[in-house]
């Protein structure tokens, strides 16, 4: 007996070692297969980046190019095929090629039902959300666009004073109040706490937004999701549940810390619900509470059939952390890009003067409270400066990308049939950089959209939130970003204050944005010199 146990123990490490070796070997074979594979796409669809080889070697070449040079592949595909109204295949090594339609087929793409083409699945896969977001997949709806649409966006008007107050306090702290000396600031590193504070102020109130531990947890949570998602994507599906936790261990720690702040609040609210004298807390909550926890509860009650899962504190907490990620990172990146675009444009000083004047003119108009929803909607130059930066330097390449979920596949307008599981869509990047849509397309022209745009109908200023088939930074159609109204509000208030309060020293060259697959990172470490203006 004893010797049997000894043998079992002695061989345990060997079994473990053998399993890991086998798993790595399978992963390797799978990657090799992927690199040469046609992904069951019909042979009449041309691949970009294959050079002279129209075979598996060509596909391997273009798959490798997709890692760091996706931009070149997109430019080639757009010029060669899209401009000739043809469909092409864009390799995307980590999670499979994408079929790119010409712009004339956008309306076809938008008309397809969600049970034929699913946009949500692409986003989930892009971020590997099932493995990178803890518990997010406990329910179907990890981020809850509904709460953003029905609670946050509706109540935005109530938050404008809070947002302005927080922007001012955060700028004082991170960009300083010295009107004499220029100060060198790391743009991304200062925008991160500033935007985190604004977003948390709106989501969870003043007390938590002033707690630096909490804002830093929220601002850093799954911040490097692009890297974790890429790493997880390399593994075959059956191994992802095992490797996922390895690549996301630091985020898991952050998530647990975030949860420890929220749990007492959630439990208090739930306890109140159980008290006999309070039948139901509604948005007309007598204590006027207006924060994410309240929205989540209100939302759960508003359903015809109340689902108990929606009251699980862990579900509420995990959805909050994913929402904080979606809201904070996208706005930090966008504002960082916009500030660099303004600083590096030849009209830097003039642009800041125009923005400042716009803010002051509207603030002086006695009929409007500065920074109210109505006042903000009149600040069309602020809209334009941000929209133009998103057009030129948006952080995702795709415009509308969907995955075929109909089991029998789908027939494209050109007659090609693509199987279930394939991704098909439009590249926003290509459309945003087409001279036919935007003259001088590679130039940052801050007030391009304030002057109005002829190809978009009447010459009217284009608002930041208005998506179209030539502006897809928030995607377009029924799955466009539900957070864009909130984003516009906080970004305009922040950039408006920056223009009002600071001079920015112009720079000669815009630091480049780095591509990693379809993620486009802003300058992360570069600095600018700023100085508070004398008022
Ligand atoms: C400038 C800032 C932002 C940009 C450029 C942006 C961009 C986008 C894009 C392109 C998508 C579509 C992704 C896809 O379908 O593949 C999206 C979806 C989404 N965004 Fe944003 N976003 C921003 C801010 C925000 C904010 C502030 C929030 C939350 C308050 C938010 C919440 C969401 C959610 C929940 C989705 C998923 C929608 C769904 O699944 O139907 N976003 N965003
Ligand atoms: C939001 O503002 C409106 C109008 O100012 C007010 O009637 C309402 O009570 C506010 N709601 C909350 C939840 O604060
Ligand atoms: C943040 O909140 C935590 C928990 O409530 C508290 O222990 C900590 O002291 C707070 N930190 C700051 C800087 O206020
Ligand atoms: C948004 O853009 C579309 C298409 O260009 C246009 O028809 C619509 O009027 C615009 N809406 C707003 C509010 O500007």
Q: How far apart are CA 154 and CA 147, in angstroms?
A: 10
56 is in an annotated binding site: no
Residues 333, 385 within the same domain = yes
Ligand 4 pocket member 157 (CB < 6 A): no
The ligand whose atoms approach the alpha carbon of 478 most closely is 1
In angstroms, what is the span from residue 370 Cα to ligand 2's centroid? 18
Range of the domain at 73: 37-129
What CATH code is carried by the domain that includes residue 515? 1.10.630.10
In angstroms, what is the span from residue 301 Cα to ligand 2's centroid? 20
Q: pLDDT > 70: what percent of the chain? A: 91
> DSSP 3-state assignment of 248?
coil
Residues 101, 152 within the same domain = no
Q: What are the residues whose beta carbons fall under 8 Å from the beta carbon of 310, sequence distance 6 or more?
A: 139, 296, 299, 300, 303, 316
Residue closest via CA to ligand 2's atom 4 equals 158
Residue closest via CA to ligand 1's atom 20 equals 481
In ligand 3, the atom with minimum distance to the C-alpha of 210 is: 14
| Inside any domain, residue 425 | no
Here the tokens at position 13 are 């490490």
Residue 407's nearest CA partner among 426, 423, 417, 421 is: 421
| Structural domain total, the chain | 2
For 400-428, write each residue's pLDDT tens digit. 999 999 999 999 999 999 999 999 999 99
pLDDT of 284 strictly over 50? no
Which element (helix H / strand E) includes 383?
helix 380-393
Residues 100, 180 within the same domain = no
Query: pLDDT tier at 283 (50, 70, 90 boundaries)?
Result: very low
Residues 154, 117 within the same domain = no
Residues 198, 227 within the same domain = yes
Ligand 4 pocket member 455 (CB < 6 A): no
Residues 124, 166 within the same domain = no
Residues 57, 160 within the same domain = no
pLDDT at 8: 63
Residues 284, 195 within the same domain = yes
Which element (helix H / strand E) includes 111?
helix 106-111
The CA-atom distances, in angstroms, between 13 and each of 2, 104, 325 are 18, 59, 39
Q: How far apart are CA 521 and CA 514, in angstroms?
A: 5
Query: pLDDT tier at 303 (50, 70, 90 boundaries)?
Result: confident
Q: How many Cβ atoms are within 10 Å of 433's Cβ, its own excluded?
A: 18
Residues 147, 123 within the same domain = no
Residue 344's nearest CA partner among 438, 442, 474, 490 is: 442
DSSP helix, strand, coil percent of the chain (3-state; round to 5): 55, 10, 35
Residue 101's nearest CA partner among 425, 450, 326, 516 is: 425
Query: pLDDT tier at 502 (50, 70, 90 boundaries)?
Result: very high
For 81-123, write each residue's pLDDT tens digit. 999 999 999 999 888 899 999 999 999 999 999 999 999 888 8
In angstroms, what is the span from residue 278 Cα to ligand 2's centroid? 21
Which element (helix H / strand E) includes 183?
strand 183-186
Ligand 4 pocket member 463 (CB < 6 A): yes
pLDDT of 73 strictly over 90? yes
pTM of the model: 0.91
* CB-CB contact of 14 with 22 (8 Å): no
* CB-CB contact of 136 with 322 (8 Å): yes
Q: How far apart are CA 343 and CA 528, in angstroms?
A: 8
The last residue of a domain, from among 94, 114, 129? 129
Name every protein residue with a CB atom under 6 angstroms from any ligand 3 atom: 211-214
Which DSSP letter does residue 507 get?
A: -
- In whole angstroms, how large is the CA radius of gyration of the chain? 25
Q: Give the distance from CA 21 to its chain's centroid.
A: 36
| Residue 8 burial (C-beta neighbours within 10 Å; 0-12, 13-18, 19+) | exposed
Q: How far apart are CA 372 and CA 122, in angstroms?
A: 36
- Mean model confidence pLDDT for the chain: 89
Pocket test for ligand 1, best of 295, 318, 330, 477 (most atoms within 8 A of CB): 330
Q: What are the residues whose beta carbons fall under 8 Å from the beta carbon of 7, sequence distance 6 or more?
A: none
For 48-57, write each residue's pLDDT tens digit. 998 888 888 8
Provide the pairing of β-strand 527-532 with 183-186: antiparallel
The last residue of a domain, from among 129, 158, 180? 129
pLDDT at 281: 47
Residue closest via CA to ligand 2's atom 1 equals 158
Ligand 4 pocket member 377 (CB < 6 A): no
Residue 122's nearest CA partner among 427, 485, 334 is: 427
In ligand 2, the atom with minimum distance to the C-alpha of 284 is: 13
pLDDT at 158: 86
pLDDT of 135 strictly over 60? no
Q: pLDDT > 90: what percent of the chain? A: 56
Here the tokens at position 386 are 């941000």
Q: Give the distance from CA 335 to its chain's centroid.
A: 13
| Inside any domain, residue 388 | yes
* CB-CB contact of 73 with 91 (8 Å): yes
């Amino acid at each position: 007996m004893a010797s049997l146990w000894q043998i079992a123990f002695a061989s345990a490490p060997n079994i473990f070692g053998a399993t890991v070796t086998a798993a790595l070997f399978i992963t390797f074979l799978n990657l090799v297969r992927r690199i040469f594979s046609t992904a069951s796409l019909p042979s009449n669809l041309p691949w970009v980046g294959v050079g002279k080889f129209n075979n598996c070697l060509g596909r391997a070449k273009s798959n490798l190019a997709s890692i760091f040079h996706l931009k070149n592949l997109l430019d080639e595909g757009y010029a060669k095929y899209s401009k000739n109204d043809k469909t092409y295949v864009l390799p995307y090594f980590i999670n499979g090629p994408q079929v790119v339609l010409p712009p004339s087929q956008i309306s076809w793409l938008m008309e397809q039902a969600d049970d034929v083409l699913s946009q949500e699945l692409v986003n989930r896969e892009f971020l590997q959300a099932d493995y990178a977001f803890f518990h997010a997949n406990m329910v179907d709806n990890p981020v809850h666009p509904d709460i953003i649409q029905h609670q946050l966006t509706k109540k935005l008007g109530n938050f404008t004073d809070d947002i302005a107050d927080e922007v001012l306090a955060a700028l004082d702290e991170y960009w300083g109040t010295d009107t004499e000396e220029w100060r060198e600031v790391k743009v991304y590193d200062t925008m991160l706490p500033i935007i985190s504070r604004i977003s948390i102020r709106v989501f969870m109130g003043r007390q938590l937004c002033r707690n630096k531990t909490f804002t830093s947890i929220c601002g850093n949570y799954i911040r490097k999701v692009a890297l974790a998602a890429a790493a997880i994507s390399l593994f075959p599906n059956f191994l992802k549940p095992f490797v996922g936790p390895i690549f996301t261990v630091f985020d898991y720690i952050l998530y647990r810390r975030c949860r420890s702040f929220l749990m007492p609040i959630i439990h208090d609210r739930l306890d109140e619900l159980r008290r006999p004298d309070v039948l139901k807390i509604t948005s007309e909550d007598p204590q006027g509470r207006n924060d994410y926890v309240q929205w989540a509860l209100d939302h759960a009650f508003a359903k015809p059939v109340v689902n108990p899962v929606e009251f699980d504190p862990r579900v509420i907490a995990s959805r909050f952390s994913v929402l904080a990620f979606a809201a904070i990172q996208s706005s930090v990146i966008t504002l960082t890009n916009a500030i660099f675009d303004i600083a590096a444009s030849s009209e830097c000083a003039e642009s800041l003067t125009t923005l400042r004047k716009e803010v002051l003119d509207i603030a002086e108009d006695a009929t409007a409270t500065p920074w109210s929803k109505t006042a903000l909607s009149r600040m069309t130059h602020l809209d334009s400066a941000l929209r133009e930066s998103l057009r030129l330097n948006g952080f995702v390449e795709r415009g509308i990308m969907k995955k075929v979920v109909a089991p029998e596949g789908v027939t494209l307008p050109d007659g090609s049939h693509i199987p279930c599981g394939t991704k098909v869509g439009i590249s926003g990047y290509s459309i945003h950089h087409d001279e036919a849509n935007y003259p001088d397309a590679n130039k940052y022209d801050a007030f391009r959209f304030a002057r109005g745009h002829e190809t978009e109908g009447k010459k009217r200023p284009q608002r930041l939130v208005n998506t179209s088939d030539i502006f897809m930074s928030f995607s377009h159609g029924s799955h466009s970003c539900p957070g864009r109204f909130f984003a516009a509000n906080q970004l305009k208030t922040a950039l408006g204050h920056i223009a009002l309060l600071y001079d920015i020293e112009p720079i000669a060259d815009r630091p480049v944005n780095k591509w990693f697959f379809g993620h486009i990172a802003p300058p992360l470490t570069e600095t600018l010199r700023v100085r508070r203006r004398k008022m």
